[in-house]
Amino acid sequence: MGGRLLNGLSEKDCLCLFVTHVYELTCSVPKAVSLVAETIEDGAGEPRATFRILRRDADGAAYALRLLRKYRLTGKEIEVRKNAAFTAFRP
| pLDDT tens sequence across 6-36 | 889 889 998 888 888 777 777 778 888 888 8
Its pTM stands at: 0.56
| Alpha-carbon gap, residue 58 to 40, rounded angstroms | 15
Per-residue CA distances from 53 to 33, 44, 58 (Å)? 12, 23, 11
What's the whole-number mean pLDDT along residues 80-87?
Answer: 87
Mean pLDDT of the chain, nearest integer: 83
pLDDT the model gives residue 91: 67
Does residue 70 register a pLDDT over 80?
yes
pLDDT the model gives residue 87: 82
- Side-chain-facing half-sphere of 77: CA atoms under 13 Å: 8
